[in-house]
Every structure is written in C-alpha cells, then in structure tokens.
Structure 1
Amino acid sequence: MTDAGTGAPEDASNKSLKKARWPLIALMAGVAVVVVVALIAVFARGGPVEYAEDTPEGVVQRYSQAVIDGDTQTALRYLAPDLADDCERQQPGTDDLRVTLVETTEREDSARVEVIVATVYESGPFGTNEYRSEEAFDLVRVGGQWYVDAAPWQLTICFDSGL
C-alpha cells in the first residue's frame, strides 16, 4: 500500500516520523529525571543537623533547645554540676529564638562554642523583625562529659550565676 499524496510506502513515512520523535521523547525524559532528583533533594534535606551529645556542639544544641522549649529541668542537666547545684532558677524568656552554630574551639578540658542568637519579634508588613547577635557558650569537661559553664544572656536559666 502506498501513501496517496506521495506515492511512498506508508511504513517508511511512519518510520521517519518515529525517528523525529525520539529526540523529543529523550529530552522530556531527561527533564523528568532532573525534576524528580530535585524534589528528592529538597524533601530529603530534613531538619537541622543534630550533633552528637558527647560533643560541645551537641551539649549547646540540647541545652539551647531545652531553654527555648521552657524545659528548665532538662537544661539543668547540661550545666556544670557546681552551677546546677546553686542555680536560682528563672523561667526562660518566651521570645522566639534561633541559635546557629558559627565556630567551635575545643581544648583538652574546655571549649568555646560561638553562635548567632536571633530573637524573632512579631511579623510586620515587610517580613519578620529580628535582632541577631554573636554570642558564645563556654564549656568545661568534667569526668569526660561536656557541660555548659557560661551561656549567652538570652539563654540564661539561673539568676545568681548568669546561666
């Protein structure tokens, strides 16, 4: 059978039409793969990095989260034992705080964890209002375990020691 318009066999025109579609199909498949990979990367990213509990960063992270959550009992477990024993407790502030790790300097029995503390206030017409400041935690190692020895004022839970 021949194509009435050209006199060429019908299957030859179908073959050339199929050949012309392959680059388009390959391009669409490539775009689909890129979109799927991008979606996986976005959704697999998860939340913030959780540091090991036996590191200065992990202690600061857990202490800060406990204070932000208003869980003074848990926060006290991360204070140096002599400070926790003498702590005149206060209720931590209810401000919306974010703590971001900047740098850690670790020595044999002490460490300094520098952070940025962002206090987020109400939202306005141009976005949220926030105040950021660079702060530091001082830690000591007692019996092989890290403890907070000094904390930024925004994360203070004891009146008398400044913690």
Structure 2
Amino acid sequence: MLHATPSDVRGMKAPRLFRRILGSVPNPGTGPKRTAIRPPAVWGQAEPVWKTLWSWIRGTQEPIQHRKLTLDDARRDFAAALSDLSAEDACDLRRRGQSARSLRELWHLRADLYSMIARYRSQAEADRRLQSVNRHFPASTTPTAKSTTSRPEHFDA
C-alpha cells in the first residue's frame, strides 16, 4: 500500500511517482502456479544413448514397444474426448488423432481438440476432457502471470 502524504506526492517528479507506484505492485513471478504441458521430445532425444545401446546389445525392443503403447493410449484418450461429438469437423479431428504418427504430432492437435469441445459443449468440459489427454505429455509448473513489458531501470530521482 502507498503511504505517501499529499505533500510528498506534489514534490515528486512524475518518474519518481511512477517508480513508487510500480514498486508497490507484487512481483508477477510470485503468484500462483499453473501447469504447462510441454511437447514431448523429438524422436531419439527421449531415451539416453546408453539405454538405447543396452537394449540393442540385449536384443530387446522395450523402448520401442513402450513408445508404441504410450502413443496408442494417447490416441485412445484423444478419441474418447471426442466420442460424443458427431459433427463432421469432430469426425475429421478424430481421424487426424488416430493417424498421428507420434506423441509430438498428437500434442499439436490439442488446441483443435480443446476448441472443438469448448464450441460444442463448454469450456469447463473442454478443460476436464483435455486432462485425460494431457497426462501423456511432460508437464512443468510455471508462474501464471508473466510480465510482457519491461520497466526501464533508469528513472530521474
């Protein structure tokens, strides 16, 4: 809260007054956090090299099978999110989700999925359904408010 008396405000130059006002604004990085869903790694970056070599030496295909099962699960959840929508554009999006060749490709279809569900149902329903799809992708916690403008560091005193 500002604790400036009227005589203090009259004696301040404009930049000093703005600095005092802006100084009382809380730091945007300290606000509540939200979960950001990041795209999956590009093929070959998800597995460390030593694990890939070890699988190759042992003659197993575990990482490849695991990636295929994860993609199948993600496709299934994607289709389930659209299951009750029968519009032509919803059917097209369902086909695009089923033919996605990678998790990264499916990740890029999430925006279309969200807008489709929000348009035909509601935003709350789109949020709820997208959670089942988002569980297949890496997540990180980030601050909700980000400063898009930078304050100049040089003010007249």
Q: Fold-level match, TM-score > 0.5?
A: no
Query: Please, what TM-score do these two structures have when normalized by structure 2?
Result: 0.22
Identify, as 1 or 2, the structure richer in helix.
2
Where relative contact order (Cα < 8 A, 6+ residues apart) is larger, the structure is: 2
- Which structure has the greater CA radius of gyration? 1
Query: Please, what TM-score do these two structures have when normalized by structure 1?
Result: 0.22
